[in-house]
Every structure is written in structure tokens, then in C-alpha cells.
Amino acid sequence: MRVKGFGVIGAGSMGNGIAQVSAQAGFPTVLFDIGTAQLDRAKTTIQKSLQKLEEKGKLKETGAAIFGRIAFTTSLTDLKTCDFVVEAASENREVKFKLFAQLDELLAKDAVITTNTSSISITEIAGKTKRADKIAGMHFMNPVPIMTLVEGIRGLATSDATFAHVRAVSEAMGKTFIEAKDAPGFAVNRILMPMINEGFFALNEGLASAKDIDTALKLGCNFPMGPLELADFVGIDVCLSVCEVLHRDLGDPKYRPSPLMRKYVEAGWLGRKSGRGVYVY
Ligand code: 3HC
């Protein structure tokens, strides 16, 4: 299994982690974002992460050699020669649909294009291209260099060969691959987000303080982070958007987003990235 060029769309926390792990796997990698500021932040994040891993002896080569395998660009056409692409742009349907149509025009006919979407239908994204058989979901977890899961999702038309290739690429990146159906939230977010949402309902009801809710799940269930801490880590806006997809597409009122979660997003309290979420950073 070889990847000649691994393209990543979006230099946010998921995209930069995916580019790093691709470079660690030895793939020549191109990281695209529309803004130079995002690319500059990604460079710093990747360098710091590689430095930590190098200090702990967890890399097979130097961090500098791995970093040197990543090209950073604001021009989508620089992905032209990539034969494997992961789209990790913002979780917005229209943005993703437009990008997939552009990538379909730009890339060679046999290139595989995957999306790191946390909840949008893979079948619908694939429908924006003329290569639905070569499109799949490839859902990484945050922080990508540490979390070892990739959730693979087949769209209705994804071919067996494409899916086998996505599995092989994920495994070459050191990840454990599971397969989930193309249903709202796939496996991880179908189960994780209702728990986070319930954490906000519980907080709103005054069931316990935020800290005690998190401590309950950390010490009571051995979770590394409680639900509210994790919401701040993932981004409360991301959690809300996944809860909205679950509610709308599954049509069951049990998935309705907590009004408190919505209020936090309205206030711009998005979690760690905005300096304030359930907790202040
Ligand atoms: N690069 C390199 N090393 C990193 C790193 C990174 N990006 N992030 C953390 N580390 C290392 C730290 O250096 C530390 O190493 P050490 O143990 O050798 O000192 C180790 O990982 C643990 O980190 P910390 O000491 O800073 O803190 P924690 O022990 O709390 O671990 C955590 C941090 C790994 C994030 C842990 O809290 C955790 O597993 N949290 C849950 C994460 C989770 O659930 N992610 C999934 C979210 S859902 C998702 O992504 C799906 C999406 O669609 C919403």
C-alpha cells in the first residue's frame, strides 16, 4: 500500500493532526487552508507535538524530518497530484459540498477523497462528485496524534476497493479502524454527543456543579475527561451542530439539544478555543 501524495483540507485542530500523522506514516503531505494565519498556527502546533513525541522516543525518525514532509499551502491546486485526500474543513454542509465538487474536478480520476465529517451524510457528500465509488468517511478523533481510532464510513456507492484502501491507509497511520454505517453521528458521536448533551441538561437542572458532573464520570466511570470538560475540548459549537444533526435526521425528540448548550454558543463561549466555555481558560 502506497500513498504518493496525501492531501489534507483545513488546518484546524483535526486537519493539522491528520497532516502530522500522515507525515509520521511517511507520506508526502500537503496541508491546505484558505488563510495563512491558520497555516502558521498549524505549523507551531505540529512542531510542538512532534517535539513532545520525539522527547519521549515515540518517533522512528527526527521530528524535523517528519515536519519536512509537509508542504503548507493556500492554493488548492497544489493538491493536484495527491492520490489520497482527507477533507477536514469546518463542519458546514455547503462548504464541504463545494470543496468536494472542486476536488472532483482537480484530482486524477482514480484519487480517493475522504471526509473527516463528524455527522454529515457521506452519501450526500459523495453525490456532489462524479466518483461516488471513491468517496468514504474517515473520522479521526481529537487529539489526532494521540487518539488511535479511525471510524470508517461507506457511502451508498463506496466501492469495496476504496474502503479497503481507506482501512489500509488508516492502519499505516497507526490507527485502529472500525466500520460504522452512514447514519447520523456514525458510532462515536451517536453515543458520545447525547452523553455530553445530557451533561448540559444536568448542569441546567442544578443536578450537580460542572466540576462534580465531570468528576462523577471521571472517577465513577474512568473516563479521561468528564462530559463538560470534553465539550470544552471538542468545541461546544461542534457539539451543538452534531446534536442538531442527530435531532433533525433521526427525528426523535430525545436528541434535542440542551437550551443551555445553545446559550453558550450564542454567547461565544465555545470552550478552550475561545478562552471560555463551561470553564474559564
Ligand atoms: N501531541 C503529542 N502529545 C500529546 C498531544 C498532542 N497533540 N496531546 C496530548 N499529548 C500527550 C501529553 O504530552 C501527555 O504525555 P505524557 O503522558 O507522556 O506526559 C499525554 O498525551 C497526556 O496528556 P496530558 O498530560 O496533557 O493530559 P491528559 O492526561 O488529560 O490527556 C488527553 C489528554 C489525551 C486529551 C485525554 O484527556 C483524553 O483522552 N481526553 C479525551 C479525548 C477524547 O475523548 N477525544 C475524542 C473526542 S470526540 C471527537 O474527536 C470526535 C469529533 O467528531 C467531535
DSSP track, 162-197: HHHHHHHHHHHTT-EEEEE-SSTTTTHHHHHHHHHH
Could you identify the atom of ligand 1 that is nearest to the CA of residue 238? 54
In a domain, 280, yes or no: no
Residue 1 in this model has a pLDDT that exceeds 80? no
- The pTM for the full model equals 0.95
Our answer on whether the CB atom of 217 is closer than 6 Å to any ligand 1 atom is no
Looking at 180, 202, 223, which one is the last position of a domain? 180
CATH at 222: 1.10.1040.50
Q: Whose CA is nearest to atom 33 of ligand 1?
A: 224
Could you identify the atom of ligand 1 that is nearest to the CA of residue 119? 53
Our answer on whether the CB atom of 187 is closer than 6 Å to any ligand 1 atom is no
Give the model's confidence band at 86: pLDDT under 50 very low, under 70 low, under 90 confident, else very high.
Answer: very high
- Return the SS3 of 125: helix
Number of domains in the chain: 2
Each residue of 225-257: pLDDT tens digit? Answer: 999 999 999 999 999 999 999 999 999 999 999
Which residues participate in catalysis according to the annotation? 118, 139, 151, 189
Closest CA to 203 of 164, 231, 241: 231
Q: Whose CA is nearest to atom 1 of ligand 1?
A: 49
C-alpha cell at 207: 443536578
Our answer on whether the CB atom of 56 is closer than 6 Å to any ligand 1 atom is yes
Looking at 120, 148, 180, which one is the last position of a domain? 180
Looking at 135, 158, 180, which one is the last position of a domain? 180
Q: Whose CA is nearest to atom 2 of ligand 1?
A: 49
Q: Whose CA is nearest to atom 23 of ligand 1?
A: 146
Closest CA to 140 of 271, 2, 1, 14: 14
Strand 135-140 and strand 70-73: the pairing is unpaired
What is the pLDDT at residue 39? 98
What kind and span of H or E run contains 153?
A: strand 149-154
Give me the chain's average pLDDT, please.
Answer: 97
**Angle between helices 210-221 and 188-205 in degrees, nearest 10:** 140
Our answer on whether the CB atom of 24 is closer than 6 Å to any ligand 1 atom is no
Our answer on whether the CB atom of 225 is closer than 6 Å to any ligand 1 atom is yes
**From CA 256, how far away is CA 31, in angstroms rounded?**
36
Proportion of the chain above pLDDT 70, given as a percent: 100
Domain that holds residue 116: 6-180
Task: Let me know whether 71 and 128 are in one domain.
Answer: yes
CATH at 81: 3.40.50.720
Task: Let me know whether 175 and 85 are in one domain.
Answer: yes
What is the pLDDT at residue 58? 95
On whether the CB atoms of residues 272 and 281 are closer than 8 A, the answer is yes
Closest CA to 279 of 177, 176, 209: 209
Our answer on whether the CB atom of 59 is closer than 6 Å to any ligand 1 atom is no
In a domain, 83, yes or no: yes
CA of 224 to the centre of ligand 1 (A): 9
Q: Whose CA is nearest to atom 54 of ligand 1?
A: 234
Is the sign of the CA dihedral 58, 59, 62, 64 positive or negative? negative
Task: Let me know whether 39 and 171 are in one domain.
Answer: yes
